Chains A and B, each alone.
Chain A
Amino acid sequence: MLDKMINNTGDKEEKGKPVRLSGAQAFVQALIDQGVDTIFGYPGGSVLPIYDAIYQSPLRHILVRHEQAAAHAADGYARATGRPGVCLATSGPGATNLVTGIATAWMDSSPVVAFTGNVARQLIGRDAFQEADITGITLPITKHNFVVREAGELPRIIREAFHIATTGRPGPVLVDIPKDVTLEEITYQYTDHVNLPGFRPTYQGHIRQINEAARAIMAAKRPVLYIGGGVISSGAADLVRQLAEKVGLPVTFTLMGIGGFPGHHPLALGMLGMHGTVYANLAVSRCDLLIAVGARFDDRVTGRLDSFAREAKIIHIDIDPAEIGKNVRVDIPVVGDARTVLAELIRKVSTKREAEWLGQIEEWKKQYPLRYKEDPAGSIMPQFLVEEIYAVTGGHAVVASDVGQHQMWLAQYYKFSTPRSHISSGGLGTMGFGFPAGIGAALGRPDRQVWCLCGDGSFQMNSQELTTAAVYGIPVKVVVCNNGYLGMVRQWQEIFFANRLSHSDIGSGPDLVKLAEAHGVPARRVEKPAELRAALEWAAARQDGPVLVDVRVAREANVFPMVPLGAGLEDMIGKEGWVK
């Protein structure tokens, strides 16, 4: 006889008591013991026993309408909360539908734990119905993955999966569970021991390296601090600010580093790279010391490598030794956790300020502010849309974005001030990420207002989740920056392909207001700048469920400044905000 009750008491003594459970029940119990409250999933044949165990369990299961959205929602939940996000799918097509979401989490180092069902053990490798080698498929896009060979291993593997996903540099882990394993009966006993001799990330930086970094900072005349997603995942934002203020460091951030330093701070340079600010890119190009923290010198950030920070000594602080020296030569590597290393570094430097350098940066800021031209026809400029969302939310919202021009405008014009507020697919650039990620974020952070700024093209990749948001009353505020184009593609075609707009005009598309309403989501359309504020305020006011605002923006606006592919950061076009 199985002990049917799932133990959710959190009572220490109760927690350690051995109980007889089926593999499926042990799965649910192990998730609860890991502190999981929400999972995103979609059922199917090989996970039926698991779904039976979930039924009437204390786990909150969110039924999405496509497994890709389950993975993105788990990812959004993880990015917004810092806690691991969990998704579940059946074997074969369910599992392969997760792949884009797992790859997205992998590229941005997000702690997602994905569970897939698989066919029964004796059928594996025989092309059984709905069999896919999902561990083989996800090998290069997970930190690690497991196949559970017997139910007795399940509790240990789940523990290890969460430990690996959240320890060191975070990342996705997949656990594949054959159906018959979930039917086996085992004795389940809670423990928090993990035995992974091959997995020991270095948290403490080498003290000699930190000393050397401190000396370099004290000697530098033109230093710049360059922060990435590692600052967010290690919870180092407050220390970045302390260090910057102590020694007067201008701070630039990557797309993933947004929120790691207050966007309105006088020392903030904004984002760097392809669509970075002119002053961030100039500062990096002319600096004599570049201090990289939790960033990976992505090609969208560095532009042409041989001219990147060419006058600078480079300090690279990262928990992942494989990042050091991957793309650029590094003078002072420090392998360790950003928070731990920065705390030490702050103690080793003394207060200073390079007035001449900071003065130069102020001049650049005055000369090349972020700006745009009004549309002669009086349409809503997409940059203005972002400014209005900023105004309506007081800059305090969590905003998830899709991929394209609107994503860059959000990064440029919304001055995020806290970590985990900006949620976007940086590394993989996954269209369709924003809306489901926003759903995950909203469930993880009920205390925050969550907005999704979607492209019209991107939104159509996962618009089926309107139903999910409606059914569960998830209060996400979807704003579609609707230009009727795959705008970023159109921009490249305009600039690099003589404006030959091959398959980038997606026209007025479906009527998004009707589409939303058909899913039970209240929606409005806005076409004039004067109507925008009221519509956004209407969206902000809705507490108990999703809303959508379809904003028709100037169709042919471009994202500037821009570093063309293959150019150095100094060779930006559209420095003035447009090209003549």
Chain B
Amino acid sequence: MKHILSLIVLNHAGVLTRVAGLFSRRGYNIESIAVGITEDPNVSRMTIVVDGDENVVEQITKNVHKLIDVLKVSDITHDDCVDRELALIKVTANSSNRSEILQIVDIFRARIVDVGEQSVIVEVTGDEGKVDAIIQLLRPYGIKEVARTGMIAMVRGTKMQKTPSRRVINI
């Protein structure tokens, strides 16, 4: 089953390797991973999509949580959340089929961001299904390149994935 994990991590060198290593160790291939800083520049959010057995993913998640640089991990697979992905798709296009492509782009509320002699670049955002669908429809025209960001996600409403307050532990 596909799992969406949302992590809040300290913006330290190596944190991505530490997280990724825990998945590869159990033979799990991360489908997508997207990282970017949050409202706090010392803290990043990572969204990981991984396919795997419920129990194993849970155990990996607990190990991720143990990493010193990880502040919070949530499995938001079953939460009501907004998930988005951005894709750039370079499609073969010439004067004869450009208008057909434009129609598809319109339907998906995507955009043409570059026009060349032999191709156009389409930019689309949406959930995974939408991005998959437009790629499917553009395929007959000849796709030259695809770049996808991987999913980012956020739980809807007031429920928030907070960064814990920086507590000072006195030893």
Contacts and interface: CB of A to CB of B under 8 A. Distances in A.
Contacts of A136: 17
A193 B169 CA distance: 6
B41 interface: no
Contacts of B13: 147
B169 A195 contact: yes
A163 B171 contact: yes
A139 B15 CA distance: 11
B167 to A, nearest CB: 6
Contact of A140 (B21, B59, B66, B69): B21
A5 interface: no
Given A163-B171, A322-B63, A198 B17 contact: no
A139 B171 contact: no
A197 B167 contact: yes
B168 A193 contact: yes
Given A192-B171, A325-B55, A139 B63 contact: no
Given A197-B71, A322-B62, A139 B168 contact: no
Contacts of A197: 10, 71, 163-167
A321 B65 contact: yes
Given A140-B25, A322-B59, A135 B65 contact: no
B68 interface: yes
Interface in B1-35: 9-10, 13-14, 17-18, 21, 25
Contacts of B62: 321-322, 324
B23 to A, nearest CB: 12
A322 B26 CA distance: 14
Contact of B170 (A144, A193, A326): A193
Nearest to B43: A197
A503 B25 CA distance: 31
B166 A195 contact: yes
Given A139-B18, A139-B21, A326-B59, A196 B68 contact: yes
Interface residues of A, number: 25
B170 A322 contact: no
B14 A135 contact: yes
Interface in B51-67: 55, 58-59, 62-63, 65-67
Contacts of B163: 197
Contact of A322 (B18, B66, B69, B166): B66
A565 interface: no
A164 interface: yes
Contacts of B88: none
A139 B171 CA distance: 26
A136 B17 CA distance: 9
Given A135-B14, A139-B18, A193-B170, A198 B59 contact: no
A198 B171 contact: no
Interface string A155-187: 000000001100100000000000000000000
A128 interface: no
Interface string A180-217: 00000000000011111111100000000000000000
Contacts of B18: 139
B57 to A, nearest CB: 12
A505 B63 CA distance: 42
B17 to A, nearest CB: 7
Nearest to B64: A322
Contacts of A322: 59, 62-63, 65-66
Nearest to B61: A322
Contacts of B170: 192-194
Interface string A421-460: 0000000000000000000000000000000000000000
A394 to B, nearest CB: 38
B70 interface: yes
Contacts of A238: none
A194 B171 contact: yes
Contacts of A199: 68
Interface in A294-337: 320-322, 324-326
Nearest to A335: B62
Contacts of A147: 13
A204 to B, nearest CB: 15
Contacts of B68: 143-144, 164, 196, 198-199
Contacts of A135: 14
Nearest to A166: B171
B133 to A, nearest CB: 38
Contact of B66 (A163, A193, A320): A320
Nearest to A329: B55
Contact of A198 (B55, B58, B63, B69): B69
Nearest to B66: A322
Contacts of A164: 68
B74 to A, nearest CB: 14
Given A139-B17, A321-B62, A322-B59, A198 B70 contact: yes
* Best-surrounded residue of B10, B25, B66 (most CB of chain A within 10 A): B66
Contact of A325 (B21, B59, B168): B59
B5 to A, nearest CB: 15
Contacts of B17: 136, 139
A33 B62 CA distance: 33
Nearest to A135: B14
Nearest to A323: B62
A144 B168 CA distance: 19
A256 to B, nearest CB: 19
A475 B167 CA distance: 45
A198 B10 contact: yes
Contacts of B171: 163, 167, 192, 194
Interface in B69-84: 69-71
Interface string A131-145: 000011001100110
Contacts of B65: 321-322
A358 B163 CA distance: 51
Contacts of B58: 325
B169 A194 contact: yes
A408 B21 CA distance: 34
Contacts of A326: 59
Given A139-B21, A140-B21, A163-B171, A198 B166 contact: no
B1 to A, nearest CB: 17
* Best-surrounded residue of B10, B14, B17, B163 (most CB of chain A within 10 A): B14
6 contacts: A139-B18, A140-B21, A193-B168, A197-B164, A322-B66, A325-B55
Of all A-B residue pairs in the complex, the 4 with the closest CB atoms, nearest first, are A322-B62, A144-B68, A198-B71, A322-B63
Interface of A: 135-136, 139-140, 143-144, 147, 163-164, 167, 192-200, 320-322, 324-326
